[in-house]
Amino acid sequence: MTDTIGGIRIEMTDAPDQPAPSEDLLALYRGFERELLVPLWAEIGELMPTTPTSRALPHRWEWSALHQLAEQAGDLVPVGRGGERRAIALANPGLGGRPFATPTLWAAIQYLGAGEEAPEHRHTQNAFRFVVEGQGVWTVVGDDPVAMRRGDFLPQAGWNFHAHFNPGDAPMAWIDGLDIPYAHFVESTFFEFGRDRVEDRSTPERSKSERLWAHPGLAPVAAADSPGTTPLLAYRWEHTDAALAAQLELEAQGEAHTVEPGHAAVRYLHPQTGGDVLPTIRAEMHRVRRGGETAPRRETGSSVWQVFDGSGRVRVGDHEWSVNRGDLFVVPSWQPVSIVSEASADDSDSGALDLFRFSDAPIHLAMHQFRSETEDDKR
């Protein structure tokens, strides 16, 4: 309930024992305003909702529209020092036009034409690349060129110098995920330019990081600890694909290692700690068998999903969309998400619906604020 005295809004709230509007009350509220004070009883409903309520809205972006605009940007807008990247961010319709996919996460499509280079720099924000189509760009992290190909997940921990170059004759697009909105909100951001041109244009199949770290269950004894951020710079699709396939094969043989029937999932992990790959970002790949449907699940914190393969329908809160390869959608905090794997209109895909997902779960876990729930948990 709101009342106004002399132009000042007085929140009466639902709290018991609120005084009737009076001249004295008006003087009190004017005093609050003059001294830049706000009484809790006027705000408690918004500050302490009984469950998380997000300003972010569920939303889907279609890859075809995104890609077409990125291509246009490739024709019209150069990439170089100053602008740094030809990255075009998803702006959640609930977040006032800022380049924020969710209150904590940035997601963008990045486009690099044949022969182009995105100059070296470093920032404290944590980042990753995920490749939904194409290949041919190397991201150089420090002095380690790392190939980018379809299905690869490439984490990029904060404060490492990095540049990208495209030595081939075809453009390439991918998605970037970063914790920019979070870092912006807590005001912890540092940024530095690196070399204007990275001289080493070698294009190794396997990066040094993979040669050292991409051996299951093995870590170099001499390696220093890198708490919170993975030293492995590329998680290759062949491994992710095999891990998901094995879960569904074992399920078909009567063993339950899936999240739920018909729904396999893996999480990208730090090889030294077994924890999440980045201090602020969790990343996973999900596979829902054709005809499968996931139970509604919700959790604290927000996530961004991208369809990697297949098609289907996705429900987030009271929004529902059909999704195809490359489409991105946002799940705000505590909104239930469920996924149905369906044949596409032209039935051209292989069967299962594969989805890449990243979230801010590590922040919520570190603060002991993480909760998740399915319909089953409530029974």
Provide the binding-site residues for ligand 1HN, judged by CB under 6 A. 84-85, 87, 108, 110, 123, 127, 162, 176, 178, 180
Minimum distance of ligand 1HN from residue 54's CB (angstroms) = 22
Comparing CB distances to ligand 1HN, the nearer of 127 and 248 is 127
Nearest distance, CB of residue 109 and ligand 1HN, angstroms: 10
Measured from the CB atom, the residue of 178 and 259 that comes closer to ligand 1HN is 178
Q: Which lies closer to ligand 1HN via its Cβ, residue 120 or residue 276? A: 120
Q: Where are the alpha helices (DSSP H) in the chain?
A: 23-34, 44-47, 63-76, 180-186, 208-213, 237-252, 361-366, 375-378
Nearer residue to ligand 1HN within complex by CB, 87 or 331: 87
Distance CA 157, CA 229 (A): 6
Place of tokens 């940024």: 191
Give min distance, CB of 356 to ligand 1HN, in A: 17
Of 42 and 87, the one with the shorter C-beta distance to ligand 1HN is 87
Distances (CA, A) of 363 to 108, 135, 228, 301: 21, 32, 11, 8
- By beta-carbon proximity to ligand 1HN, the closer residue of 118 and 288 is 118
Cβ atoms within 10 Å, residue 356: 24
Number of residues assigned to the chain: 379
The backbone torsions φ and ψ at residue 362, rounded to the nearest 5 degrees and listed phi first, read -60, -30
Supply φ then ψ for residue 241, to 5 degrees: -60, -45
Choice between 30 and 121, CB closer to ligand 1HN = 121
254-264 core/surface letters (b: 16 or more CB in 10 A; e: else): eeeebbbebbb
CB 112 within 8 A of CB 137: yes
Provide the minimum distance between the beta carbon of 369 and ligand 1HN in the complex, in angstroms, as a whole number. 26
Q: CA 270, 273, 276 angle in degrees (round to 5)?
A: 45
Residue 90 Cβ vs ligand 1HN, minimum distance, rounded to whole Å? 12
The answer for residues whose C-beta is within 8 angstroms of residue 191's C-beta and 6 or more apart is 121, 122, 123, 124
Minimum distance from residue 87 beta carbon to ligand 1HN (Å): 4
Question: C-beta of 347: minimal distance to ligand 1HN in Å?
Answer: 36
Tell the smallest beta-carbon distance from residue 180 to ligand 1HN (Å).
6
Backbone angles phi, psi at 25, to 5 degrees: -65, -40
Residue 12 CA to residue 61 CA, distance in Å, equals: 41
The CA distance from 235 to 109, in Å, is 19
Pairing of strands 153-156, 59-61: unpaired
Nearer to ligand 1HN, 62 or 84 (CB): 84
Least distance from ligand 1HN to the Cβ atom of residue 281, Å: 13
HEC readout, 112-159: ECCCCEEEEEEECCCEEEECCCCEEEEEEECCEEEEEECCCEEEECCC
* CB closer to ligand 1HN, 139 vs 341: 139
Nearer to ligand 1HN by Cβ, of 89 and 323: the residue is: 89
Shortest distance, position 308 Cβ to ligand 1HN, whole Å: 20
